[in-house]
A and B are shown apart, each in its own frame.
Chain A
Amino acid sequence: MLNLTIDGKKVSVEKGTTVLHAARKLGIEIPTLCYHEGVSPYGACRVCLVEVVKGIKTGLTTSCTCLAEEGMEVKSDSPRVLESRKLMVELLLARCPEAEKVKDLARKMGIEGVRFKREDKECILCGLCVRVCQEIIEASVIGFINRGANREVETPFQAQSDVCIGCGACSSVCPTEAIKIKEMFDKRILETWHTELELKSCKICGRYFVPKKELEHLKEKIELPEDIFEICTDCKRKSLTGKIGEIKTGAI
């Protein structure tokens, strides 16, 4: 176990624990935007900055990427930390004035107004969608294009993707609802990724319920009876509750 202090409070954590998790163990809340437990830490939004004291030197670092060390002294609420975090959120708010999660964070931090020219973007470039697609789905459909202020998340050549399975994990992990997915009859349309995918209809009710490509992807990854992939979740539930009912009434 490693012993460190955060804001003067002592905490022991296992080797490999991040400062963010050590702080959470103490009940100290550190805001995050680009962090998600399911994917590798990225250190890009800089909202989770903390101050780490190293001898006479102190430096700002992201708590989501910084690993706890024995004897480490961390400040999560120093004026330097709070000023930097606030400015990060103000910069992101100027970029995405309508993003609820950023607005919430700004409200909590007491940010009253934005001192910069407002843009109307939706994406804060946290990269969660990119990491989920690469690390969890293992499809690597999207990535970053361009540099600096022109950076965007996109499919290669900003064209229809032939590897996207339409799972929508990117959209569900997105903190700012920037990724638009809609369904139209037998198609799932991933507008943000210029991609349309055919849906499969349920063997029982006939409703279109999942992109065919996603099913193929799942079949390759998980070994399950073929039938499982043919029926929509509603029908699966119905059939399951039916079976439970039968058990209860003594039919089985």
Chain B
Amino acid sequence: MKIKNLKDLEELKIKGLESLYPKRTKINVGLGTCGIATGARAVFDSIADEIEKQGIDALVGKTGCLGFCQREPLVDVWQPGKSRIIYCQMDPEKARDLVTGLAQGKTRKEWALCRMEEEEFIIENTKKKYSIKEKDGKDIPLYREIPFYRKQKKIALRNCGFMNPENIEEYIARGGYFSLARVLSRLKEEEVIEEIKNSGLRGRGGAGFPTGLKWKFCRDARGEPKYIICNADEGDPGAYMDRSILEGDPHSVLEGMVIGAYAIGSHEGYIYVRNEYPLAAQSVERAIRQAEEYGLLGENIFNSGFNFRIRISQGAGAFVCGEETALLASIEGKIGEPRPRPPFPAERGLWDKPTNINNVKTWANVPVIIARGADWYSKMGTAKSKGTMVFSLVGKINNTGLVEVPMGIKLREMIYDIGEGIPEGKKFKAVQTGGPSGGCIPSELADLEVDYEKLTQAGSMMGSGGMVVMDEDTCMVNVAKYFLNFTKDESCGKCTPCREGIKRMLEILDDISKGKAKETDLELLETLARVVKDASLCALGGTAPNPVLTTLRYFRNEYEAHIKDKKCPAHICPDLIHYSIDKEKCTGCGLCLKECPQTAISGEKKKPHSIDKSKCIKCGVCFEVCNFDAVEID
């Protein structure tokens, strides 16, 4: 059916609500890539199988990712009249037990992550309160109360994990496409741009350019046709929020794009999604088809006379294609290489026509801003960074996952409150924000309020929102080496500083980590980093030195220890560490001797053993297997 007016949309909303909150039990399984990776498909199958086998009157549904990736597979159980309970770390066996229990009216509290008594529909500013007749699971903490979710404010991630991404009616039920209806029926193009401008929304791809202004440039640019692009070429190691949105809530991106297209005057759009995201591409493709079927995309949208089509373009897997000019080249079928700007894409973009490119998260924010207004949105965040930001909290942290928080949250809150600290009680050392192009921020700056400006001042950047937490066992030279190795491989190789400079920086870092570097090398490394940042053609080379520059700025002593003392303080760089056995502690159990792959350990049974340093390859096996802490590293 084609939706022609608000009445049609309201009717679908009712259908969607019935699907979201049916009159019988519904078991939802999070089937995002992260869920699938931990076995959610098998969980889904076993639930479906068990329901059928036992002839239970229950539905089984799929949702996207709820963000708490570490606790996947997540399963949420909706039962009319009861609290909604989210179970975590499920497996097929537990899932069968759960279904059997449900049939007998049992709650498996021991597997529960949290429970919900209401849901926030942020776009409508309403709370959907469940009509709970039977209070059970009171000792299960509420969703809003558990540390991982307590400080979160979900705008871009509003629907992820709460609805079936394959069901457009569920999206409509949660307030979807009402913003588009309002825009097309009541707002002028300029008014839309003005609203986005006033909201203070900035590009969530990392550079943070004001979105409204970008739209205005493209609208004012001469040339037809104009193109709209969604940049879903998310390539930072450890960042996956764009994927999660495309998988879990593709319509939010489509709706944002149609609104943007209307404001800019475009009738053709592309979603550029990387090849490594097959599920996301499928999800978007399905969503496009559905939206077209319902008249929310394509010809005469909402019977308004406005036309807009979206196509999918898949990249071949190059990090540099996230850079907008390289992305454009890739869509055009050319090698994905950046070109100098100006001219900016707003002026000369895809096929030399005015083009507006925004990140997945930016688009997903748009419908909410239209619905709730610029004033509401701009009240969140800091002076220049408004709204929320999605971070992927990963690395040495207890709670890993996708986190959406208001801009201005302190790093400390991210790490200790949401992330609940560092595993094994280790010390927090640094956090890399902004992916390989970002920088390492030391623990001393834990009170830094996270926004575009503050991160840049600290030598890092917002980037796409990656947050890799490191503990005391991390060698900062090694970290810089890791990220530079990535950018070395992902540099397109077009310009001299990025291609040759990163390679040379990496050579110096390698020397440092092997204890072969001279003191003057540190100066050369710094000069190289500074010039590569300054002289590169695009943002890849322009930001690649950040890990080096920030680790030099905050952890210079560690570099010096490698160079002058030939020591790796974190005991990571193999060339600079030595294993030895403490004769006092060694019981002569022989375990290390047995496990050493080099037969470098010798000693009689029940007498202290020793390591032959000339044979030792520093694999660390002896250290790991010793039950008496007798193996030492220096």
Contact = CB atoms under 8 A, between A and B. Distances in A.
Contacts of A201: none
Across the A-B interface, give the 9 residue pairs with the lowest CB-CB distance, nearest first.
A151-B493, A148-B491, A91-B500, A65-B340, A43-B340, A84-B535, A149-B503, A148-B493, A87-B531
Contacts of A65: 340
A249 interface: no
Given A43-B340, A147-B318, A91 B535 contact: no
B361 interface: no
B564 interface: no
Given A60-B535, A116-B504, A117-B507, A88 B497 contact: yes
Interface in A136-161: 143-144, 146-151
B492 interface: yes
B494 interface: yes
A148 B495 contact: no
A144 B340 contact: no
27 contacts: A43-B340, A43-B537, A44-B495, A45-B495, A46-B495, A46-B535, A46-B537, A60-B535, A61-B340, A62-B340, A87-B497, A87-B528, A91-B496, A91-B497, A91-B504, A94-B504, A115-B524, A117-B507, A124-B496, A125-B499, A146-B493, A147-B489, A148-B499, A148-B503, A149-B493, A149-B503, A150-B493
B194 interface: no
Interface string A24-67: 00000000000000000001111101000000000011100111
A119 to B, nearest CB: 10
Interface of B, secondary structure class, is helix
B481 interface: no
Nearest to A80: B534
Interface in B463-494: 488-494
Interface string B503-540: 11001000000000000000010011001001111000
B339 interface: yes
Interface of A, secondary structure class, is mixed
Interface string A78-103: 00100110011001101100000000
A87 B545 CA distance: 15
Nearest to B511: A117
Interface of B: 318, 320, 335, 337, 339-340, 342, 488-504, 507, 524, 527-528, 531, 534-537
A116 B524 CA distance: 10
Contacts of A127: 494
Contacts of A44: 494-496, 537
A88 B535 contact: yes
Q: Which of B342, B492, B500 has the most CB of A within 10 A?
A: B500
A39 B261 CA distance: 36
Contacts of A91: 496-497, 500-501, 504
A67 B534 CA distance: 19
Contacts of A148: 488-493, 498-499, 502-503
Contacts of B339: 43
Given A147-B491, A148-B493, 20 more contacts: A43-B340, A44-B495, A46-B496, A61-B340, A84-B535, A87-B501, A87-B531, A91-B496, A91-B500, A91-B501, A91-B504, A115-B524, A116-B504, A147-B320, A147-B492, A148-B488, A149-B493, A149-B500, A149-B502, A151-B493
B319 to A, nearest CB: 9
B526 to A, nearest CB: 12
Contacts of A45: 495-496
Contacts of B537: 43-44, 46, 62
B534 A95 contact: no
Contacts of A147: 318, 320, 489-493
